[in-house]
Amino acid sequence: MSIISIEHTEEQETNFTSSLPRETAARDAFTRQTGQALITLGTLFKHVPPFNESIDTNTSETLISIGKKLKGIR
């Protein structure tokens, strides 16, 4: 019989745990930027004449509302 030894170093553990906050930060930044883009589109659809004539007001209000939720603005 042979015994297999598995070494677990602190470096491996540090690399694994340090990547999680980075991914979370990237996801949060992407969410905030998406929210800002939706707010901008909603405002564009609401106030610019070629858009506000052909797009329903509820659509622009909905985009702004979703964008604020994603961006963290209440």
Residues 28-44: pLDDT tens digits?
Answer: 999 999 999 999 999 99
pTM of model > 0.75: no
Question: For the chain, which residues make up each domain, given as ranges?
Answer: 29-74
Q: Contact, 42 vs 64, CB < 8 A?
A: yes
Question: How many CB atoms sit inside 10 A of residue 31's CB?
Answer: 14
Residue 31: partners with Cβ closer than 8 Å, 6 or more residues away = 70, 71
Residues 37-67: pLDDT tens digits?
Answer: 999 999 999 999 988 888 988 999 999 999 9
